[in-house]
Amino acid sequence: MELLEVESISKTYGEGETAVHALRQASFSIAQGEFAAIVGESGSGKSTLLNLVGGLDTPTSGQVRIAGRNIFSMRESQMSIFRRRNIGFIFQSFNLIPELTVEQNIVFPVLLDGKRPDARYLEELLDVLNLKNRRHHLPSQLSGGQQQRVAIGRALFPRPALILADEPTGNLDTQNTNEVMALLKEASRKYHQTIVMITHSPSIAQTVDHVLEVADGVVTDLGRVRG
């Protein structure tokens, strides 16, 4: 089953002579449980693509379907509930809530959705993210790498069907990068979560199921790896 279907989306910023065609008629699909990487040079349109796929921005034309639902046909209020339940975002900036501890930041979206947090999964995540001894700390008391790991935990904790990550290991050292990649892989294998991740790292891109390349706003599907 295709979890994500992108149909001819284009995004143009600005108008006339200053118009920037950040995405040109991109079409591709990602199957449920697939781990996909988006590669491409800086400025090629990768973040624009990811923001559109997550409904954080609206396309100039085209459609995005997630689990069969056309996300741009939803009202803003429906869209934010849909996002909270189905999509986990991991950005380069962490957007943690400064007044909340590590643990509180991770469970917050689940509480917001009126659900009971899964205590065992929280322990598992804190363990894998190496945050157990920081669980009661505030973001300001953490290093950049630790804050990034909290943001990753927060995205994974509700077990969203789709995880969108914009260079999630960009600020991490090699060991942390390997651990985070293992965690994301487990999320896709064990919980059949679909992951779309922007990465600059060719070695990371070699370890995923499906690779897409963006060059000057044009998306090319480099294909699925059969494993």
Chain positions contacting ligand ADP, by CB under 6 A? 13-14, 20, 22, 40, 42-48
Write down the least CB distance from residue 9 to ligand ADP, Å. Answer: 13
- Contact between residue 210 and residue 198 where contact means Cβ atoms under 8 Å apart: no
Measured from the CB atom, the residue of 33 and 45 that comes closer to ligand ADP is: 45
The alpha-helical segments, DSSP class H, found in the chain are 46-53, 76-86, 102-112, 119-128, 144-156, 174-191, 202-205
**Could you tell me if 44 and 38 are in contact, meaning their C-beta atoms sit under 8 angstroms apart?**
no
- Residue 33 binds: one of Mg ion, ligand ADP, none (C-beta under 5 to 8 A by kind): none
Q: Provide CB contacts within 8 A for 10, sequence distance 6+.
A: 21, 23, 24, 25, 26, 59, 60, 61, 62
Nearest approach, Cβ of residue 51 and ligand ADP (Å): 8
| Cβ distance to Mg ion smaller for residue 101 or 199 | 199
Which residue, 129 or 165, has its beta carbon nearer to ligand ADP? 165
What is the closest distance, in whole angstroms, from the C-beta atom of residue 169 to ligand ADP in the complex? Answer: 15
Identify which of residues 50 and 129 has a Cβ nearer to ligand ADP in the complex: 50
Cβ 199 to ligand ADP shortest distance, Å? 11
**Interaction partner, residue 44 (Mg ion, ligand ADP, none; CB < 5-8 Å by kind):** ligand ADP
Closest approach of Cβ 83 to ligand ADP, in Å?
A: 19
Q: What angle do CA 141, 122, 89 make, to 5 degrees?
A: 75
Which residues lie near Mg ion (CB under 5 A)? Answer: 47
> Tokens in use for 128?
């894998």
Among residues 158, 159, 167, the alpha carbon closest in space to that of 37 is found at 167
Q: Is the dihedral of CA 68, 72, 73, 79 positive or negative?
A: positive
139: amino acid identity, one letter: P
- Residue 191 binding result from Mg ion, ligand ADP, none, given CB thresholds of 5 to 8 Å by partner type: none
Backbone angles phi, psi at 100, to 5 degrees: -100, 150
Nearer to ligand ADP, 42 or 203 (CB): 42
- Shortest CB 217 distance to ligand ADP, Å: 7
Q: Quick one: what does residue 222 bind among Mg ion, ligand ADP, none, with the CB cut-off 5 to 8 Å set by partner type? A: none
Q: 47 or 193: whose CB is closer to ligand ADP?
A: 47
